[in-house]
Amino acid sequence: MALKGLDIFKLSPKKNCKECGSPTCMAFSMKVAQGAVSIDACPYFSEEAKAAMSEATAPPMKTVKVGAGENEYALGGETVLFRHEKTYVSKTRYAVALCSCMDDAVVEEKLAAIPKVDYDRIGERMFVEMVYVNYAPESGADKYVELVKKAAGLNRVLILGVEDPEVAKAALAVCKDSKPVLNGATPANYEAMNAVAVENGVALGVMGANDDELFDTVAALEKLGNKNLLINANTASIKAAYATAVRFRRAAIKDNNRTCGYPSIVNVAKLAMGDAHMQAALASVFTMKYGSIVVMENIGYAEALPLYGMRQNVFTDPQKPMKVEPGIYQINGADENSICLTTVDFALTYFVVSGELERSGVPCNLIINDAGGLSVLTSWAAGKFSSSSIAKYFQEADIEGKIKCRKLCIPGKVAVLKGELEAKMPGWEIIVAPREAVQLVKFLKDMQ
């Protein structure tokens, strides 16, 4: 929450020495509150005052980083309750659950299934980013550590579901460099678990039998100086899990309650054990309300395709057009003699068109210029996909120097550009392609 001028003035040195360029400390404080000058322009603000201000101006929800290297993910850091208010910043990550209570054959089957979901959708890689490894005390610590080792081999972020500090230490000894989440601080063990998490530099997941207990344990961990925390939604029932997720997020964003401002783990595998359909439905609910990590029993393509597509829609910034880079995209082993097609740089259009071109099996060069990230008709209406812009891009990108073929297909929806393009691009044969991408396969095959 932004600080007001008077709040800053209370912390100011009150010397009125004018060294900052303002006539008084009050005037300076007002300018800082407006963002017109930096607090560093005054050499006399104490470090304590600066620290207090940075705490007060910090976002209501903390950003917690888990994983390492290319598998590092930021969780939390949200500033709004609803996506239409601004945008969500850290997308929900999905985990598949393993348990040391499972038979070896089941574990092997799950480990083999996890990498199978891996595909691109509108430029984003969709795959299972995390693996939840639960410790069942009756299986023994050795079996658990072996399971953690096996899961680590998948190169995904691990979430160690373990409440025994000694077992946690043994498990972290084999995977701490990959920065897993240690998920198992409870009111009974939080001091010991905190020591293990801090020593290994990993985020700590906090649990409670109810929301009050959860809040108190988070507050106690904060007092110990640990703010690298995640909160677990109550798994007593679906209603209780939903209540935790919504209450904590609402308290963080609306009431500025920093103790509630942590990313969350929602274990839908526990909430609907054995019911894949219910888990898929719950995963959708908690992607919107407000799971930072959602744990499921299994994620195959049947679960992933709708779920990941929905996540992409929810976590895309509506203020930024989804675009692909301008350039020549060579499809099906195209070369300089292959036919050319052009369309707009709107990511959805690009992926639909390129998918159909791939399906045709015909080598072709898809030439994309900057059309503002809009669809074909919208960019044409806005003057961003016109004969002038296409001809200009062909000149600037030296398309004629790179490609010998002089046949260019334009989208059927802008057939009106054909005459203008022929006038502006002499030597090119302009061909009007179908209006719908799905018709491109037959169109290209017929042309061949």
Footprint on this chain of ligand SF4 (rule: CB under 6 A)? 12-13, 15-20, 22, 25, 28, 42, 44
Q: What is the smallest separation between the CB atom of 181 and ligand SF4, expressed in angstroms?
A: 43
Identify whether the C-beta of residue 364 lies closer than 8 Å to the C-beta of residue 357. yes
Nearest CB to ligand SF4, comparing residues 39 and 202: 39
Could you tell me the smallest distance in angstroms from the CB atom of residue 13 to ligand SF4?
A: 4
23 or 318: whose CB is closer to ligand SF4?
23
Tokens of 382: 């806005």
Provide the minimum distance between the beta carbon of 224 and ligand SF4 in the complex, in angstroms, as a whole number: 35
- Least distance to ligand SF4, CB of residue 1, Å: 22
What is the rounded distance in angstroms from the CA atom of residue 86 to the CA atom of residue 319? 8
User: 159 and 385 in contact (C-beta within 8 Å)?
Assistant: no
Taken in order 271, 273, 278, 280, the sign of the CA dihedral is positive
Outline where 362-439 has alpha helix (H): 376-381, 387-396, 399-402, 418-424
What's the number of CA atoms in the CB half-sphere (13 Å) around residue 281? 8
User: What angle separates helix 190-200 from helix 165-173, to the nearest 10 degrees?
Assistant: 10
3-state secondary structure of 291: coil
Half-sphere exposure of 350 (CA within 13 A, CB side): 29
As a whole number of angstroms, the distance between CA 118 and CA 112 comes to: 13
Nearer to ligand SF4, 21 or 327 (CB): 21
Q: How far is the CB of 55 from ligand SF4 (least distance, A)?
A: 20
CB of 261 to ligand SF4, least distance (A): 31
Contacts of 36 (CB under 8 A, 6+ apart): none
Nearer to ligand SF4, 12 or 244 (CB): 12
Give whichever of 19 and 104 is closer to ligand SF4, judged by the CB atom: 19
Length of the chain: 448
- Please tell me the distance from the alpha carbon of residue 240 to that of residue 214, in angstroms, as a whole number: 12
Q: Which is nearer to ligand SF4, 44 or 119 (CB)?
A: 44
CB of 5 to ligand SF4, least distance (A): 12
Smallest distance, ligand SF4 to C-beta of residue 221, A:
37
Distance set, CA 115 to CA 150, 155, 310 (Å): 14, 10, 20
Give the residue with the Cβ less far from ligand SF4, 22 or 360. Answer: 22
Nearest of 354, 340, 350 to residue 370 by alpha carbon: 350
41 vs 310, beta carbon nearer ligand SF4:
41
